[in-house]
């Protein structure tokens, strides 16, 4: 039986197909087996695996560039007192330890995100709506356009578990990584410029501001199956993923 490609783009049809796949293959989705993308390189020469998820190609690792796509260096801020006072783009390594870079990437404030030059040419930081699409595509209960994704705090059913890496989280907290997104718990740089929650929680900026002082982010937590959507001050240090249209 032939199904027109436009029909396949309808969220209800996609959900039905995914449920059928899960029933036929147990808990393993064929998405993780077939949708690996090509690698992409940032301005520093770091190479990232990518994965095709629905209409988009995502980096399958956290960004760790130390320069914008035009070659201008991003300010590296190590001092705890200086970090919360920033109003320009900046990055750091968790605990100011570069050994964390390869696994967890860098932590960036939202001002770096908002330059539009943080990702490689042709790539972008996901908007709040881009994240909603990803969550809806990943979740086995709520479709892409479900109103569940418009709320804050924990949302969805199992999108977090399906997006989290199957290793690298604190004992007992790994995900299933059904889509190859491989989300890892890079922690955050928060109050007082201090570092929190590496190994237990991952935070990722969106490009979308919520107010003059805050912007939207996503959070996946050790042992939790859903995805948290919240808004935090723009000076906070979070991980970044990049994507582009397929």
Q: Which two tokens stand for residue 27?
A: 């808990």
Residue 179 is classified by DSSP as T
Nearest in space to 204 (alpha carbons), one of 182, 223, 226, 188 = 188
Q: Which residue is associated with the tokens 């032939």?
A: 2
Q: Which residue has the tokens 């147990």?
A: 26
pLDDT digits (tens, 9 = 90+) for 87-112: 999 999 999 999 999 999 999 999 99
The C-alpha angle 129, 57, 97, rounded to 5 degrees, equals: 90
Upper half-sphere CA count for residue 66 (Cβ side, 13 Å): 9
Secondary structure of residue 96 in the 3-state scheme: helix
- What is the model's pLDDT at position 15? 52
Low-confidence winner among 65-69, 138-142, 167-171, 202-206 (lowest mean pLDDT)? 167-171
pTM score of the predicted model: 0.86
Interatomic CA distance for residues 199 and 122, integer angstroms: 31
The reported pLDDT for the residue numbered 95 is 98
Cα 203 to chain centroid, rounded: 7
Separation CA 158–CA 185 (nearest Å): 17
Taking the CA atoms of the chain, what radius of gyration do you get in angstroms? 18
- Our CA angle for 99, 101, 103, nearest 5°, is 95
pLDDT at 161 over 80: yes
| Under 8 Å between Cβ of 83 and 92 | yes
Q: What is the pLDDT of residues 34-85, one digit of tens each?
A: 366 789 999 999 999 999 999 999 999 999 999 999 999 999 999 999 999 9
Contact call for residues 84 and 193 (beta carbons, < 8 A): yes
Residue 1 has pLDDT above 70, yes or no: no
Query: Contact at 8 Å (CB) between 229 and 155?
Result: yes
The closest of 104, 202, 242, 220 to 162, measured between CA atoms, is 220
Mean pLDDT of the region 141-170: 97
What's the chain's average pLDDT? 89
Q: How far apart are CA 48 and CA 200, in angstroms?
A: 23
Q: Among 152-156, 169-173, 223-227, 230-234, whose mean pLDDT is lowest?
A: 169-173
Mean pLDDT of 196-213: 98
Which segment of 10-19, 87-96, 133-142, 143-152 scores lowest on mean pLDDT? 10-19
CA nearest to 157, candidates 13, 10, 49, 19 = 19
Map tokens 């993780």 to a residue.
32
pLDDT at 207 over 70: yes
Mind listing the pLDDT tens digit for each residue in 18-40?
A: 544 444 444 444 343 336 678 99
Distance CA 175, CA 187 (A): 16
């Amino acid at each position: 039986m032939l199904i027109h490609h436009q029909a396949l783009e309808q969220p209800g049809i996609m959900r039905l197909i995914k449920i059928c796949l899960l029933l036929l293959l147990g808990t393993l989705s064929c998405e993780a087996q077939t949708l690996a993308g090509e690698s992409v390189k940032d301005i520093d020469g770091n190479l990232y695996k990518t994965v095709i998820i629905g209409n988009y190609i995502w980096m399958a690792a956290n960004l760790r560039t130390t320069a914008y796509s035009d070659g201008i260096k991003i300010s590296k801020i190590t001092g705890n007192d200086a970090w919360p006072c920033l109003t320009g783009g900046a990055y750091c390594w968790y605990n100011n330890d570069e050994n964390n870079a390869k696994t967890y990437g860098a932590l960036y404030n939202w001002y770096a995100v908002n330059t539009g030059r943080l990702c490689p040419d042709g790539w972008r930081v996901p908007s709040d709506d881009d994240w909603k699409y990803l969550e809806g595509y990943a979740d086995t209960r709520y479709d892409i356009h479900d109103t569940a994704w418009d709320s804050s705090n924990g949302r969805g059913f199992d999108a977090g578990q399906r997006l989290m890496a199957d290793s690298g989280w604190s004992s007992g907290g790994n995900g299933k990584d059904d889509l190859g997104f491989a989300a890892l718990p890079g922690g955050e740089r928060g109050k007082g410029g201090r570092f929190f929650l590496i190994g237990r929680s991952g935070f990722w900026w969106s490009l979308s501001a919520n107010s003059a002082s805050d912007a939207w982010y996503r959070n996946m937590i050790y042992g939790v199956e859903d995805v948290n959507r919240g808004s935090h001050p723009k000076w906070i240090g979070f991980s970044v993923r990049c994507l582009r249209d397929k």
